[in-house]
Amino acid sequence: MKDLPIGDRTYPRRVEPKAQQSAVGATAHDLCNHLQVIASALGLLQRSFEGETAVPIETIFRGARSSLERASMLGRCIVDGAFGVSQDAAPTSLPERLAALRETILLAAGPGVLVEYLIGDEIPDVECAAHALDDVILNIVGNASHAMGTGGRLVISAMRGEVTVEGPPCTVLRIADNGCGMSAETVKRAFEPRFTTKPVGKGSGIGLATVAAFTRSAGGSVELESYPGVGTIVTVRLPAMIRMAPCSCSRP
């Protein structure tokens, strides 16, 4: 069976329907996240014109433009996924992705939320598609925003993981909020696809499931710690890329 040409690309006809639907659904969810960020930016612009927000217009504009660019890219990913085209992984810097997302994170966190960053030194790259790591960050931030409502504190940390006997070195992303928190029973089910405690129309139950799927595919892990009335901490550990030093020995 020949491949299917569309425009300037050629897509393979044979795909795995179940995996294809899951990937396309997760990407569509991430696309919705960016549309929500753009909607938040428009709301902030309206409030800015009315003198009701201190967020600089330049920050709002950059965040909205960044989300618009990512939404366009995710739209292309949905088309690619529908025809079985995979996204290539590459060395990706967590601190660089956080820096690129600063304005978008500010908009996704929502008004009244103080966002703080704790970035460690010499953090190894991880091997993944950069946009996939972006979506993991924004999915967690989006959940934290819902938990905090119109105000709170969000702390985003990036660090080099400790080398242990149990496993290789890793790069750690940790996002903590002081929102409403979750019960122990909710924590147990938080990564289940389609599980949500939000009202109908307010949550899809896909965000944390997407985070878990990404970390598994990257060979990493994700942990959730939460207490009602205190807040939630999500910790993502991804295998660090180990750069081998060039051999300086001479051949006999």
Query: What tokens does 46 get?
Result: 């309206």
Query: Per residue of the chain (252 residues), what is the pLDDT tens digit?
Result: 333 333 334 333 344 444 445 555 666 667 777 777 877 878 877 777 777 766 778 887 787 777 777 776 666 666 555 544 455 688 999 999 999 999 889 988 988 899 999 999 999 999 998 888 998 999 999 999 989 988 899 999 999 987 555 667 899 999 999 999 999 999 999 888 877 776 655 555 677 888 998 898 888 999 999 999 999 999 999 999 876 444 444 444
Q: What is the pLDDT of residue 57?
A: 80
CA dist 119 and 56 (Å) reads 24
Q: What is the pLDDT of residue 80?
A: 55
Task: Tell me how crowded residue 18 is: count the other CB atoms within 10 A of its CB.
Answer: 8
CA dist 34 and 18 (Å) reads 25
Q: What is the pLDDT of residue 78?
A: 61
Query: What tokens does 215 get?
Result: 């970390």
**Domains annotated on the chain, with CATH:** 9-239 (3.30.565.10)
The two most distant CA atoms of the chain are separated, in Å, by 77
Give 240's DSSP letter.
B
CA dist 78 and 210 (Å) reads 15
Q: What is the pLDDT of residue 25?
A: 60
Q: Hey, what amino acid is at 81?
A: G
**Pairing status of strand 126-128 against strand 90-92:** antiparallel
CA dist 241 and 228 (Å) reads 36
pTM greater than 0.75 (yes/no) = no
Q: What is the pLDDT of residue 119?
A: 96
- Check if the beta carbon of residue 166 is closer than 8 Å to that of residue 157: no
CA dist 90 and 45 (Å) reads 36
Q: What is the pLDDT of residue 164?
A: 55
